[in-house]
């Protein structure tokens, strides 16, 4: 690996990706460059993890082969107009912003450019993120492999068609909030039965992790897993019945529908 990796913006998401890269690729810190609007923030990060400080977005754009846009969507216009004249078309731009399409990004360059768009979720902070990745037609397979390899250091990467990005935003971006509600409620139920709260959270969250791993690693269908745990006339099926009586599944489906509605509304503005 000899590519120079740049981050414009030294905020939460850039710091998380940088942390994953350094942890997973030996010597990677020498290849990482960072710039930020407030220079002290970038300098602080550089000192903390021993990476290279860049004095300006333009310097970074000239220096790096891969450029992560770790800035908020409202800064895209300013930053991309600033760097566009200096970014050669062999460079790979990786955009993180919700609601900004690969076409939007390429539009600032006014010429064909290699653009990858990713949608990471909050679990990247513990290296267990779900990261959707989509690329425009100028990006070669080996560049997608490069981005996938880099991002695998913070979670599972899945290549999708760009039209799926709104659905992805809900199922992996928003759903940690739904899942947190689920864990909290499950723990509340156990507290109601007399279990200490701190233990209830641990049991509920660990059970969530284990259940997810069974589905992913053993490829057990969720319905089959429910069937395995629910013995005939047993305890679990009583709970499943109670959930179904209150429309557990349709409530979740409605939550997904509500998020998608809101995303479409925001995209149309």
Ligand X SMILES: NC(=O)c1ccc[n+]([C@@H]2O[C@H](COP(=O)([O-])OP(=O)(O)OC[C@H]3O[C@@H](n4cnc5c(N)ncnc54)[C@H](OP(=O)(O)O)[C@@H]3O)[C@@H](O)[C@H]2O)c1
d(CA 87, CA 67): 9
Question: Closest approach of Cβ 54 to ligand X, in Å?
Answer: 10
Nearer to ligand X, 3 or 44 (CB): 44
Question: Closest approach of Cβ 57 to ligand X, in Å?
Answer: 5
Question: Closest approach of Cβ 249 to ligand X, in Å?
Answer: 27
Nearer to ligand X, 75 or 205 (CB): 75
Residues that bind ligand X (CB under 6 A): 8-14, 35-38, 41, 57, 70-73, 75, 78-79, 96-98, 120, 122
Question: Closest approach of Cβ 1 to ligand X, in Å?
Answer: 23
Question: Closest approach of Cβ 129 to ligand X, in Å?
Answer: 9
Nearer to ligand X, 78 or 243 (CB): 78
Nearer to ligand X, 131 or 146 (CB): 131
Nearer to ligand X, 70 or 187 (CB): 70
Nearer to ligand X, 28 or 120 (CB): 120
Residue closest to ligand X (Cβ): 11
Question: Closest approach of Cβ 168 to ligand X, in Å?
Answer: 11
CA distances from 188 to 21, 121, 192, 207 (A): 38, 26, 6, 15
């Amino acid at each position: 690996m000899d590519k120079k990796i740049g981050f414009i913006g030294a905020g939460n998401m850039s710091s998380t990706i940088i942390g994953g890269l350094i942890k997973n690729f030996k010597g990677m810190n020498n290849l990482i460059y960072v710039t930020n609007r407030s220079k002290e923030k970038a300098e602080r990060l550089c000192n903390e993890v021993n990476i290279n400080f860049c004095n300006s977005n333009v310097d970074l754009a000239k220096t790096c082969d891969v450029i992560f846009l770790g800035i908020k969507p409202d800064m895209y216009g300013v930053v991309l107009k600033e760097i566009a004249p200096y970014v050669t078309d062999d460079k790979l731009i990786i955009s993180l912003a919700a609601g900004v399409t690969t076409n939007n990004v390429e539009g600032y360059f006014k010429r064909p450019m290699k653009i990858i768009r990713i949608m990471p979720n909050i679990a990247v902070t513990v290296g267990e993120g779900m990261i959707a990745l989509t690329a425009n037609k100028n990006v070669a397979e080996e560049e997608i492999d490069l981005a996938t390899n880099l991002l695998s250091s913070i979670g599972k990467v899945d290549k999708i068609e760009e039209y799926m990005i709104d659905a992805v935003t809900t199922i992996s971006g928003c759903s940690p909030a739904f899942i947190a509600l689920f864990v909290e409620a499950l723990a509340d139920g156990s507290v109601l039965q007399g279990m200490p709260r701190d233990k209830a959270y641990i049991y509920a969250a660990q059970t969530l992790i284990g259940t997810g791993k069974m589905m992913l690693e053993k490829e057990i269908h969720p319905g089959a897993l429910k069937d395995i745990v629910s013995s005939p006339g047993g305890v679990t099926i009583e709970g499943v019945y109670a959930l179904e009586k209150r429309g557990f599944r349709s409530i979740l489906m409605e939550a997904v529908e509500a998020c998608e509605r809101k995303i479409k509304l925001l995209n149309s503005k």
